[in-house]
Amino acid sequence: MSIELNQISFCYASHTSYGEYALREVELFIGDGEFVGIMGHTGCGKTTLAQIVAGLLPPFAGTVKIDGYDINKKGYDRKLLRKKVGFVFQYPEHQLFETTVEREVAFGLKYGGLSWNERMERVKDALECMGFAFERVRKESPMSFSGGEKRRIAIAGVLVSDPDILILDEPTAGLDAKSRSSLHKIIAKLNQRGATVLWISHDADSLCKYADRIIVLEKGKIVMDGPPREVFADQTKTEQYQIGTSQARVISEMLQKRGFKFERKPITYQELLDDLCNYFKKGG
């Protein structure tokens, strides 16, 4: 499902004289099924942008179209929007409130007109997708789980609606390496199944591995937009906007300084490995 932003501006506290723009005239088109990483240092407007796309904040100016429809137009079906767009907040575990895992995950299906059994089928799928054994966890309290598990439960509650667009606001912040990597794989799988993904992250390694495209924000404006290889090729800008770079790219730069010649600029470990093997095969 596509996302289109035209001239989006947003200002918190717009009624006061000190209101500053969190977004300024943002133009953006994201095609159906794209996997887009959103980067930029703290305060640049990433969360605001994501909330505007999800319809959680009304833009100050401009239009937001999801699947070609203006979501802020009078008469647009908000319930439909909630079904289409799944939003995983930065600390989704803070929003757990139900007494059992099955009720927690099923919450988003409450008004969808499904029977209890149909809902439980979906809940089972979502929990299994997040690595849980449904029968073992369904009657447990969400509060009895670890931080990483709670987050996976909360994310299952978003996936249960099978959203066409999945927006994740730094979903792996504070998770251990194992939970992080399993979450990455799940997001990639959902994208392969057709979901459009918007993933806010500071993790250049993971975005290089999974994203088709990276958008960098600075002071509420899009300042870079392109495939990871192009974005991370511009060292002056990546330093200016403080988005870091992937470890594979750092290592390939070091090797290049020592005389290795790469045909492309590797940005993932897999590419680096392939290029090194090629280099040695050719006899250096």
Ligand X SMILES: Nc1ncnc2c1ncn2[C@@H]1O[C@H](COP(=O)(O)OP(=O)(O)O)[C@@H](O)[C@H]1O
Residues that bind Mg ion (CB under 5 A): 46-47
Residue 245 has which token pair? 């770079």
Measured from the CB atom, the residue of 47 and 268 that comes closer to Mg ion is 47
Q: Which stretch binds ligand X (CB under 6 A): 27-35, 45-53, 99-107, 123-131?
A: 45-53
Based on the shown chain and the rule CB under 6 A, indicate whether residue 42 belongs to the binding site for ligand X: yes
Residue 81 has which token pair? 């929007």
Number of residues that bind ligand X (CB under 6 A): 11
Question: What whole-number distance in Å separates Cα of residue 67 and Cα of residue 53?
Answer: 12
Based on the shown chain and the rule CB under 6 A, indicate whether residue 101 belongs to the binding site for ligand X: no
Measured from the CB atom, the residue of 56 and 276 that comes closer to ligand X is 56
Measured from the CB atom, the residue of 164 and 203 that comes closer to ligand X is 203
User: Which entry of Mg ion, ligand X, none binds 266, CB below 5 to 8 A by partner kind?
Assistant: none
Which residue, chain included where needed, has tokens 């009078």? 74
Look at phi and psi of residue 62 and say left if phi exceeds 0, alpha if psi is from -120 to 50, else beta.
left
Give the residue at shortest CB distance from Mg ion. Answer: 47
- Nearest distance, CB of residue 79 and ligand X, angstroms: 25
Based on the shown chain and the rule CB under 6 A, indicate whether residue 45 belongs to the binding site for ligand X: yes
- The residues pairing with 30 across neighbouring beta strands, listed in sequence order, are 3
Q: Could you tell me which residues come within 8 angstroms of residue 32 by beta carbon, excluding any fewer than 6 positions away?
A: 1, 2, 194, 196
Binding mask 6-25 for ligand X (x = CB under 6 A): ------xx--------x---
Q: Which of 14, 31, 43, 264 binds ligand X (CB under 6 A)?
A: 43
Measure Cα distances from 30 to 16, 65, 242 in Å.
33, 10, 24
The H-assigned helical ranges of 56-194 are 78-84, 101-106, 116-129, 134-137, 147-159, 177-192
User: What residue ranges bind ligand X (CB under 6 A)?
Assistant: 12-13, 22, 40, 42-48
